Amino acid sequence: MPETPFEIEIDGGKLHGHFGGTGIPALLLHGGPGLPDYMEGAAAELANIFTTIRYTQRGTLPSTVVGPFTVETHMADALAILDLFGQERAWAVGHSWGAHLALHLAVAHPERLYGVVCIDPLGASHKVIAEYQENLLARLGPQERARVEEIEERSEGGETTEEDELEQARILWPAKFADPAKAPPFPYEHVGTECARETFESITAHFAKRTLRRGLPNLAMPVLFAHGLEDPLPLRASTGTARLIPSARVARIPNCGHFPWLEQPGFLNRSIRGLIALL
């Protein structure tokens, strides 16, 4: 089903995105942070359930690269897009960091959401991040691992360029799939190094304040977690977070890494239809 491009003026510049499909509106939130939108395949899979709205978050071209880059700013941008489309409420469908952002939206602005779908999410605990990184590294050869660790060390000191970060992302890309040999071509042309660094600082601050762990038990909306069993991001990122939320459901996806719509097409569609049927 064809999509239509759009852009919206926000503080600091513009956000660029696409909408399409039919049905209840769903805001698709990509991962990263600091990556361009890659949710086209997910939108296509869900187009007969939702009117999907996807966009590149601030911090990466073609959207504005102007900050601030905080959880709060990313939430404000998401709400501005809902306002642009005249939607008082929508589903939030997030992947990886985007699912983490969706949970923050649910806690801070529950009146704007029908429900949340978290696809291989970062989750509500900081403890999974180090394990995710180590699992990715364990899937690399010695030379690749050394190069990634070198770039990461320089990144922590704020010394990397966009080219460095793209190289690191390109090396890690196949390791995110259940079968690295079958990974599709690397999809990114740009990354936002400043956005990634500052947004993770904001994420870490919210972990310290226990924002999600305090707020998620109060949610009164449907929440679905879908997680690939071969994802280097641990399953407990989904199961542990789901335990905080009344009536949350977890769908475990066999033979699947970090990108279900690429590795197990149709699974998300069936799982979301099942969730909606229970409402």
- Whether residues 98 and 213 share a domain: the answer is yes
Quote the pLDDT of residue 238: 97
Residue found by looking up tokens 């890659």 in the block: 38
Would you say residue 70 lies in a domain? yes
Backbone CA torsion sign across 129, 176, 40, 114:
negative
Would you say residue 151 lies in a domain? yes
DSSP secondary structure letter of residue 217: G
- Letter for the amino acid at 21? G
Longest Cα pair distance anywhere in the chain, in angstroms? 51
The secondary element (H helix, E strand) that includes residue 122 is none
Domain holding 196: CATH number?
Answer: 3.40.50.1820
Would you say residue 187 lies in a domain? no
Residues 6+ positions from 133 with CB-CB distance below 8 Å: none
Provide the residue range defining the domain that includes 175. 130-182
- Whether residues 267 and 198 share a domain: the answer is yes
- Whether residues 139 and 48 share a domain: the answer is no
Would you say residue 198 lies in a domain? yes
Torsion, Cα of 86, 87, 93, 95 (10° steps):
40
- Whether residues 60 and 121 share a domain: the answer is yes
- Whether residues 196 and 62 share a domain: the answer is yes
DSSP secondary structure letter of residue 2: -
Would you say residue 62 lies in a domain? yes
- Whether residues 160 and 204 share a domain: the answer is no
* Total domains, the chain: 2
| Bridge partner list, 228 | 253
- Whether residues 119 and 257 share a domain: the answer is yes
- Whether residues 116 and 143 share a domain: the answer is no
Residue found by looking up tokens 């941008």 in the block: 77
- Whether residues 152 and 252 share a domain: the answer is no
- Whether residues 115 and 138 share a domain: the answer is no
Tell me the CA distances in angstroms from 242 to 75, 160, 191, one per residue in order: 21, 36, 30
Distance, CA of 64 to CA of 13 (rounded, Å): 5
Would you say residue 140 lies in a domain? yes
Phi, psi of 55 (to 5 degrees): -160, 160
Residue of 131, 107, 130 lying closest to 118 (CA atoms): 107
pLDDT in tens, the chain (279 residues): 689 999 999 988 999 999 999 899 999 999 999 999 999 999 999 999 999 999 999 999 999 999 899 999 999 999 999 999 999 999 999 999 999 999 999 999 999 999 999 999 999 988 899 999 999 999 999 999 999 999 988 887 778 888 999 999 999 999 999 999 999 999 999 999 999 999 999 999 999 999 999 999 999 999 999 999 999 999 999 999 999 999 899 999 999 999 999 999 999 999 888 877 666
Quote the pLDDT of residue 172: 96
Quote the pLDDT of residue 157: 76
Sheet holding 90-95, edge to edge: 3-10, 13-21, 50-55, 24-29, 90-95, 113-119, 223-228, 249-253
- Whether residues 84 and 216 share a domain: the answer is yes
The gap between the terminal CA atoms of the chain, to the nearest Å, is 26
Distance, CA of 232 to CA of 265 (rounded, Å): 19
Would you say residue 154 lies in a domain? yes
| DSSP for 27-58, written as a single string | EEE--SSS----THHHHHHHTTTEEEEEEPPT
Task: Name the token pair of 189.
Answer: 């042309």
Quote the pLDDT of residue 59: 96
- Whether residues 29 and 123 share a domain: the answer is yes
